[in-house]
Amino acid sequence: MSNLEDRQRQALGQIAEIKRISCAIDHALQHRTPAAVLITSAQPGEGKSLFASALASRGRQ
């Protein structure tokens, strides 16, 4: 597998994970608007900034 294919596969995995977590948040909130959302992780490089930006862009839609 090439480096490009590896990066594409990783990007698709990240998109799927963002959608999965977003659906879980929507289900947990049950159409309520939260005052704040905390995004954290145990290790650096786990996608906090990517997820936060995706979540923020969903809020603007």
Output the pTM of the full model.
Answer: 0.69
> H helices of the chain, where?
3-29, 48-59
Q: Among 44, 43, 55, which Cα is nearest to 17's? A: 55
- The whole-number pLDDT of residue 61 equals 57
- The whole-number pLDDT of residue 16 equals 92
Residue type, 23: C
**What is the Cα–Cα distance from 37 to 27, expressed in whole angstroms?**
14
pLDDT per residue over 3-57, tens digit each?
999 989 988 998 898 899 889 988 998 888 888 889 998 999 888 898 889 888 8
Asked whether residue 60 carries a pLDDT value surpassing 60, the answer given is no
**What is the Cα–Cα distance from 7 to 10, expressed in whole angstroms?**
5
Supply the Cα-derived Rg of the chain in whole angstroms.
Answer: 14
- The whole-number pLDDT of residue 8 equals 92
